[in-house]
Amino acid sequence: MVKKEIDEITGTETTGHEWDGLKELNTPLPRWWLWTFYASIVWAVFYWVMMPSWPLINDYARGIRGHSQRAIVMQEVAALQDLRGETGQALTDASLQDIQSTPNLLEFAMANGKAAFGDNCAPCHGSGGGGAIGYPNLNDDDWLWGGTLDDIHQTLLYGIRTDNDDARIGDMPAFGRDEILDADQVRDVASYVASLSGLETDPAADLANGETVYVDNCAVCHGDDGKGMAEVGAPNLADNIWLYGGDLNAIVHRIQIGGGGVMPAWVDRLDPVTLKSLAVYVHSLGGGE
């Protein structure tokens, strides 16, 4: 039989449950808390009925209201297109050169491009376009694929090493990993490349042999003088501007593993006006040709 009693310390009735001398007090939740809890349950059921909530196999329960955040975004995009009006249409029809030389179009493109850059490009290139290791600096005049308005626009549209048929494609072989060059050749050619920019070289390296290895394996893309070729995305090795680090170890590592970075194709992600605006904005950062 459950034995209830009054706790001497708290003056509260016990439930009659006892474990190893510990007695449970009968302290029910406050009624205001219970009513709030019950109201939350009622609200949850109401929300399930009215709003999108439950996931299904191939879709989701859309609710009586049929609310869709995506539909709201599409409405806002349409409103933005209306707001752009004639200026947006003029930007669509104008060439990149005409945009750059027409003050009102240039002003519109710069404002639009800056906003789009912050939303889409800054995570990799930095808010000011200064780049980072593996992500090009857009402020200098050193371009892998060319820095004219048309070059930048082309790169934005189709990306680099993407699955788009018009993407920029150009890979550096893994000379060390694939055993195209042996360890001594990698050491020598890395030191020779470092010497083109006046960097410190390996004292054990044979620079004359490094030059021979360079001419036989690297000059076809980077040129006999090491100044690169934008046609294939081969960087200038003689200007002391480095994408993956400019010390001797970084150069050796790149010769070992080869490869190259990937930039998304934006043609299916951003509208033509935004892409043109981005091209004009990036070109204006200080490194456009």
Confirm whether residue 218 is marked as ligand binding: yes
Give the integer Cα–Cα distance in Å for 254 and 245.
Answer: 9
Give the integer Cα–Cα distance in Å for 68 and 109.
Answer: 31
Residue 230: DSSP 8-state = G
Confirm whether residue 221 is marked as ligand binding: yes
Of the pLDDT bands very low, low, confident and very high (cuts 50, 70, 90), residue 74 is confident
What digits encode the pLDDT tens for the residues 87-112? Answer: 778 888 899 999 999 998 999 999 99
CB atoms within 10 A of CB 282: 23
Answer whether residue 86 shows pLDDT above 90: no
pLDDT (mean) for 7-15: 84
Full set of structural domains in the chain with CATH: 1-65 (no CATH), 73-165+264-286 (1.10.760.10), 183-257 (1.10.760.10)
Confirm whether residue 121 is marked as ligand binding: yes
Give the integer Cα–Cα distance in Å for 220 and 239.
Answer: 18
CB atoms within 10 A of CB 193: 25
Residue 4, pLDDT score: 77
Of the pLDDT bands very low, low, confident and very high (cuts 50, 70, 90), residue 2 is low
Of residues 96 and 61, the one with the higher pLDDT is 96
Task: For the chain, give the mean pLDDT.
Answer: 91
Residue 23, pLDDT score: 85
3-class DSSP assignment, residue 57: coil
Confirm whether residue 263 is marked as ligand binding: yes
- In percent, the amount of the chain with pLDDT more than 90 equals 67
Of residues 85 and 47, the one with the higher pLDDT is 47
* Highest mean pLDDT pick, 78-82, 166-170, 216-220: 216-220
Answer whether residue 1 shows pLDDT above 70: no
Helical H segments across 62-182, by residue range: 69-93, 96-101, 103-120, 122-125, 149-158
Give the integer Cα–Cα distance in Å for 45 and 23.
Answer: 38
Backbone angles phi, psi at 145, to 5 degrees: -120, 20
Answer whether residue 229 shows pLDDT above 90: yes
Of the pLDDT bands very low, low, confident and very high (cuts 50, 70, 90), residue 196 is very high
pTM for the model:
0.71
DSSP letters spanning 150-186 = HHHHHHHHH-BSSSSTTSB---B--TTTTTSS-HHHH
Residue 90, pLDDT score: 85
Of residues 68 and 128, the one with the higher pLDDT is 128
Residue 12, pLDDT score: 86
Of residues 249 and 19, the one with the higher pLDDT is 249
Of residues 286 and 140, the one with the higher pLDDT is 140
Instruction: Enumerate the β-bridge partners of residue 23.
Output: 18
What digits encode the pLDDT tens for the residues 119-167? Answer: 999 999 999 999 999 999 999 889 999 999 999 999 999 999 999 999 9
Answer whether residue 38 shows pLDDT above 90: yes
* Highest mean pLDDT pick, 11-15, 61-65, 89-93, 168-172: 168-172
pLDDT (mean) for 212-233: 94
- In percent, the amount of the chain with pLDDT more than 70 equals 98
Confirm whether residue 125 is marked as ligand binding: yes
Helical H segments across 126-266, by residue range: 149-158, 183-196, 207-217, 219-222, 248-257
